[in-house]
Structure 1
């Protein structure tokens, strides 16, 4: 079975799994399965559209729009994502309501972090009223209710969230927490206060002859009826002015305000749609960049492999015909990357190398010794680097040692030290490793002596300066 066919089968398997979970409102599980389906095949239109529906069912409308816009970019015609997007856009103010709900949700998070639970609860209630299927808002509101010990209200919000997504881990964890709190709380008897309210009615009592007259105190104020009339008129005027201001005046500007609100809602819908499109395009661009980098790496690796095969086949042909010099064959063989060859190519490479490399190592090592003795360190380095590339441990590390010494003579101490250190680590017990260790130790000893000499020179200069000062004072 081809590699691409396996990927298609895996993508379809996880799509079917996500569809089953979505049918029983296991939204969290459906999201996980559908994302995995898109990992195997990001062009699976059905999986991407279903993922958008699942997000929409959880109240995550922005994420849903992103998936549908991506789906539309993959397949612009005969795609149900076009229908989903148009249905959201054709409902006046829906995107604005959702955007407002998200803003209220974010504000409530900030308020809760500042110990403003009461204000956060008010904001979340507004968010849920604007966007009833917003699972995250229900969960946060339930958490705040638990924090403020309003457990009945918390259970109500969690039941709503559970209906929207039956397997959401956050919802299930909060429900379990409430159950544990109920078990741990002792039963408390509720005190019911009982008490009658005494009604005290103020009265005026006086006697006329043998009779006692009891009269309500309000009757005392009859003598102020003129003042009451004036007050009633004043109150009537104020009420009339209030009615004029609060009822009639708003009605005059309602038409103008309505048109303004419609324009604001229209602009908000366009902005929300454009933001979703921008987010979708960014996601698609990142995917294309990742795929492009992988393609470039594969392309470079493929080119290197092809070049190595061509060189090996060409050299093997000339090696068999004996119509190419050893030097020319070596230059070609050193360009080959053996790890990129397959079994057949590697076999031919090793066949040529087994015969060619020992001869050339011996020849180049001898040439390098002569160049080193004559002071041609560049030539010695060039020859020895080829020897080390063919056989790093040639002559028990002596070739690598001579290369380090050539770098040292040339004044490139860092490169020399790298080779010395490699000899010490990889060829312990060999003569070359001992020589390399002595060279490193000699550098350390020389460095210490130079530092001490510098200190002595500084002290001598200081003494001389002190003597000069004394002489000047004597004068």
Structure 2
């Protein structure tokens, strides 16, 4: 029981190490750190997980955290440990360590500047840091935060994109990007409200800005009053030619202005819809990946559970070979680690081989008596455990049994499997004959040919005796 518990712990540690390795490969540094720490919770002496955790920290510009993990790894395993190489490389580059120390001091000074309302000095210093050390994630995040505080939204977006390339799922980076979206939307709304409160028009070479609402109405009323006064003097004809064009022009300008406002509103709504659609797509993608990871984890867990059950049954002799073989078939060898695969190979050799030998011998006896359903049942079990058992003869005889039972479709499936997996062999040549409709192949051919020979011999003897 204690051995099984230790094995489960080791399997869980290796699983989370593989998960961390996968996430590090796609620059999901935060996710990789979480998975590797969980791996070390199960097995603190998992040297591969600890060394990879140090590399992830080092890749985010957090050199000190990386050194800590490598030093612990070296103490746990002094010899044949790649952490010795990492530490030696850093110790040999003394200038690089000094430069990193100065960079950390500058970063801390930027924090002081930011706390004392010295955003400009902090921004200048941080811009130099991210140029000299482009992998330093915290410097990118602090620079983006200062850009947000000083309303330099375009630069903030550019800096946050660089930070996200370093760590695609860092919570601080994603929080700043969300805040940037909110601030940009608020600023655009304020600018549109400000523009709506004023009216700008040109008078000669001068541009005049006046509060909206009353200007156009005053101009229109003055024009109407002037036209009425002139109309009283000049007559209805003059009124007709002056008032109507002015009124039409005023309506056209109002209509154009409304169209522009509606166009701006439609563009804003389209932008919001696109942003929401993008967020929904990202959520669906993340959900699909999470579901796939959960299914993989469940498959791995079930495979280990089934394998451990078979090992326990085999050691205690508490189950038959058939029962153990049925359980072992449910193990996905590809989902196991190196130790699990070695254990699987050992169990399959100890269980599948003798059971296949018994079933194969029974199938040959049934073939000799033309009991093809029994042949199909036995050989299906054999090929289910070892696909190319007896150098492919089991699969060939299964195809012959199907063919003689009238199931040509399954027979052709068996022949094609042989041709694909056992090229340039005698059994592959016989399978090609089977595809051409020849059933005098395999073990079945021997029984039928012998029967034919016996019949011929008997008939010949009878003729001779009769004569």
Identify the TM-score tier after normalising by the shorter chain.
Answer: 0.3 to 0.5
Q: More relative contact order in 1 or in 2 (CA 8 Å, sep 6+)? A: 1
TM-score normalized by structure 2? 0.48
TM-score normalized by structure 1? 0.47
Larger radius of gyration: 1
